């Protein structure tokens, strides 16, 4: 219906848009553009390998890392940390000596090293690394701020902190942001979504007009 003008519209999920950006610019943060994307099974197996490796240090004391830290549960916690843009170093600081949290932070660090050595990213890295790219490379951020002068985000009640920060960075130059959502329909808390993103939208963006 829009004709050739429609070719300028970029309609995508958060992850597909970020993969497109990373394929062009991920070398700026130390990866190769031909990176592999691990699925959930790949991630879980890699986490399991890290747990087994770290567990060798504990076996002499009769402690089983594999039993105490199931790979599926640890992979979930690492994913939720990435949803909050928390690095392994930050997770270790947050642990404040708590044994369980400290061990998960160590597994997280070992997991990220394995991904990096394999030039691979997991599903949760995709947005986190795009935010890292934008924060560390202002010229890349400005390119996409100008490319995406008007932003429309649907199902905003199901966004997480990493997605919020991505949107905030893209919108901070032109201030043309529209989000659509219903705080009664949030269904992805288990995947890291935070209802606060929509409830506090007019506080985060004071010039916003709310249409109910």
pLDDT at res. 192: 62
Closest CA to 35 of 139, 108, 123: 123
pLDDT, averaged across the chain:
91
- On whether the CB atoms of residues 21 and 31 are closer than 8 A, the answer is no
In this predicted structure, the answer to whether residue 207 has a pLDDT above a threshold of 60 is: yes
Task: Please say whether the beta carbons of 134 and 166 come within 8 A.
Answer: yes
pLDDT value at 113 more than 80: yes
Best CA proximity match to 19, nearest among 127, 175, 104, 153? 127
Side-chain half-sphere exposure of 37, counting CA atoms within 13 A: 15
Positive or negative torsion for Cα 20, 22, 28, 33: negative
Average pLDDT over residues 101-121: 97
The pLDDT tens digits for 114-158 are 999 999 999 999 999 999 999 999 999 999 999 999 999 999 988
* pLDDT, tens digit, 9 for 90 and up, residues 29-82: 999 999 999 999 999 999 999 999 988 766 656 667 888 899 999 999 999 999
- Of 75-84, 158-167, 172-181, 195-204, the poorest mean pLDDT is in 195-204
Position 195 pLDDT exceeds 80: no
Nearest-angstrom CA–CA distance, 68 and 33:
37
* Average of per-residue pLDDT across 5-32: 95
The distance between the two most distant Cα atoms of the chain, rounded to a whole number of Å, is 69
The first and second tokens of residue 154, run together, are: 């649907």
- According to DSSP, the residues that pair with 152 across neighbouring strands are 178
Burial 132-149 (b: 16+ CB within 10 A, else e): bbbeeeeebbeebbeebe
Give the pLDDT band (50/70/90) at residue 212: confident
186 pLDDT tier (thresholds 50, 70, 90):
low
pLDDT at 181 over 60: yes
C-alpha to C-alpha distance for 166 and 26, rounded to whole angstroms = 16
């Amino acid at each position: 219906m829009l004709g050739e003008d429609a070719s300028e519209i970029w309609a995508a999920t958060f992850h597909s848009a970020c993969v497109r950006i990373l394929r062009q610019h991920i070398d700026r943060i130390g990866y190769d553009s031909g990176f592999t994307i691990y699925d959930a099974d790949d991630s879980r197996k890699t986490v399991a390998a890290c747990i087994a490796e770290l567990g060798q240090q504990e076996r002499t004391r009769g402690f089983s890392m594999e039993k105490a830290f199931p790979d599926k549960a640890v992979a979930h916690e690492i994913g939720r940390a990435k949803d909050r843009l928390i690095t392994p170093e930050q997770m270790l600081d947050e642990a404040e000596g708590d044994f369980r949290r400290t061990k998960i932070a160590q597994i997280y660090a070992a997991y990220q090293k394995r991904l990096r050595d394999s030039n691979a990213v997991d599903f949760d890295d995709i947005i986190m690394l795009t935010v890292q790219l934008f924060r560390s490379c202002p010229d890349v951020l400005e390119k996409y701020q100008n490319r995406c002068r008007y932003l429309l985000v649907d199902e905003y009640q199901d966004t997480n902190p990493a997605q919020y920060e991505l949107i905030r960075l893209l919108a901070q130059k032109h201030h043309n942001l529209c989000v659509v959502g219903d705080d009664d329909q949030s269904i992805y808390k288990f995947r890291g979504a935070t209802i606060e993103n929509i409830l506090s939208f007019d506080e985060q963006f004071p010039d916003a007009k709310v249409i109910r």
